[in-house]
């Protein structure tokens, strides 16, 4: 009985290891990055340690963001971190509402590289 179970699991793992191309990989650089996220904290990080923050599409991945930054700004990112900021409940002018969440990418550049925002 145990031999049959192991044969089944090996067959399942062989199927699971197939590479599947996701639809998110088809996004180009200009569609992957929405806009730079300009806040007080991101401005300080950009000046001190060449760390830039961008708002990105929900289906964007680290490799897609890395390629997009290299294509758009002609710099090579060293590291990319991605974070999701959640929706927030707000109360404005006597009405309840929600402030939409966003997915952001934090891009680290090497010491001499710089990105100029106009």
- Assigned domain for 14 exists: no
Q: What is the pLDDT of residues 17-38, one digit of tens each?
A: 333 344 445 556 668 999 999 9
Pull the structure tokens for residue 76: 């090579």
- Assigned domain for 20 exists: no
Pull the structure tokens for residue 108: 């680290």
* Tally of domains within the chain: 1
Task: Name the pLDDT band for 9 (thresholds 50, 70, 90).
Answer: very low
Q: What is the pTM of this model?
A: 0.71
User: Which candidate, 70, 72, 78, 81, places its Cα nearest to that of 106?
Assistant: 81
How many Å apart are CA 86 and CA 90, to the nearest integer? 13
- By residue range, what is the domain housing residue 30? 26-109
- Assigned domain for 9 exists: no
- Assigned domain for 39 exists: yes
Pull the structure tokens for residue 94: 């006597």
- Assigned domain for 70 exists: yes
- Assigned domain for 99 exists: yes
Q: What is the pLDDT of residues 51-92, one digit of tens each?
A: 999 999 999 999 999 999 999 999 999 999 999 999 999 999
CATH of the domain at 36: 3.30.70.330
- Assigned domain for 5 exists: no
Pull the structure tokens for residue 24: 């998110």
């Amino acid at each position: 009985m145990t031999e049959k179970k192991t044969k089944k699991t090996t067959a399942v793992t062989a199927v699971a290891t197939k590479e599947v191309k996701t639809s998110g990989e088809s996004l180009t650089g200009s569609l992957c990055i929405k806009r730079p996220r300009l806040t007080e904290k991101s401005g300080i990080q950009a000046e001190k340690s060449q760390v830039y923050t961008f708002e990105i599409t929900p289906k964007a991945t680290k490799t897609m963001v890395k390629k997009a930054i290299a294509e758009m700004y002609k710099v090579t990112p060293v590291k990319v971190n991605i974070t999701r900021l959640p929706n927030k409940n707000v109360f404005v002018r006597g009405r309840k509402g929600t402030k939409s969440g966003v997915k952001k990418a934090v891009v680290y550049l090497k010491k001499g590289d710089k990105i100029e925002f106009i």
